[in-house]
Chains A and B, each alone.
Chain A
């Protein structure tokens, strides 16, 4: 059974870079039919997709965050990572990693999700 687990600092200072890693277990990270994504949820608010990466390293990012986001993948460690630069208090959120199943060019969904990790941006 595929499982994902986020890890990284729970507190980041304003203007610094948020770095998170997601570890995949119980399955392959090098699947042809999926991407690996990050989604965040500010306290009390809705979900926002951040970015996704294919095992080959191909990425696509949310245009609203594009200039600050970098994703990478390490297939040998079965991990993929997120870096979000120049953070502000508005970046405080629970960050989830998830497998993005791509069934067709017009159909992609997230399953399963990690449990999420709260990242607070504060001095």
Chain B
């Protein structure tokens, strides 16, 4: 059971918009620790997608956006493309555990 809870899977058709939630608690997201998102394409290492809740590293399309409110955060992907099919993970810090925590991951399927 992950400290950060994500839906196991989401899906959408090309061109659509999907969101992936990441729910935490008062010792991580609710304690004002930032959320970061990673994309893991099949057979590859995770890649940083969003840092500091809503910032995109250079090279990440603006179709990807992040938000945070209360004890939850969300990753939105607009204009879905086949190449977006991957696993997505949220990550933060937990003060109770005194360490880094990841969500369980969400598999995005582009229909």
Q: Does B12 contact A (CB under 8 A)?
A: no
Q: Number of A-B pairs whose CB atoms are under 8 Å?
A: 73
Do B52 and A49 touch across chains, with their CB atoms under 8 A apart?
A: no
Q: What is the CB-to-nearest-CB distance from B46 to chain A, in angstroms, rounded to a whole number? A: 6
Bitwise, A47-59 to B at CB < 8 A (1) or not (0) is 1110010000000
Do B102 and A111 touch across chains, with their CB atoms under 8 A apart?
A: no
The CA of A81 and the CA of B78, in the complex, are separated in Å by 40
Q: What is the CB-to-nearest-CB distance from B14 to chain A, in angstroms, rounded to a whole number? A: 26
Do B97 and A63 touch across chains, with their CB atoms under 8 A apart?
A: yes
Q: Does A46 contact B (CB under 8 A)?
A: yes
* SS class, residues of chain A in contact with chain B: strand
Do B89 and A46 touch across chains, with their CB atoms under 8 A apart?
A: yes
Chain A: residues with Cβ within 8 Å of the partner, total of 27
Do B45 and A47 touch across chains, with their CB atoms under 8 A apart?
A: no
Q: List the A residue with the shortest CB-CB distance to B33.
A: A106
Do A49 and B98 touch across chains, with their CB atoms under 8 A apart?
A: no
Q: Does A80 contact B (CB under 8 A)?
A: no
Do A46 and B105 touch across chains, with their CB atoms under 8 A apart?
A: yes
Q: What is the CB-to-nearest-CB distance from B32 to chain A, in angstroms, rounded to a whole number? A: 6
Q: Which of B45, B46, B51 has the most CB of A within 10 A?
A: B45
Residues of B within 8 A of A (CB): 2, 31-34, 36, 38, 44-48, 51-52, 57, 89, 91, 93, 97-105
Q: List 8 A-B pairs, minimum CB-CB distance, nearest first.
A: A49-B100, A107-B34, A109-B36, A111-B48, A46-B105, A113-B45, A47-B102, A109-B51
A–B complex contacts, Cβ < 8 Å, 29 sampled? A39-B102, A46-B89, A46-B103, A46-B104, A47-B89, A49-B99, A49-B102, A62-B99, A63-B98, A96-B45, A103-B51, A103-B52, A106-B33, A106-B34, A106-B93, A107-B52, A109-B51, A109-B52, A109-B91, A110-B38, A110-B46, A110-B48, A110-B91, A111-B51, A113-B45, A113-B46, A113-B47, A114-B45, A115-B44
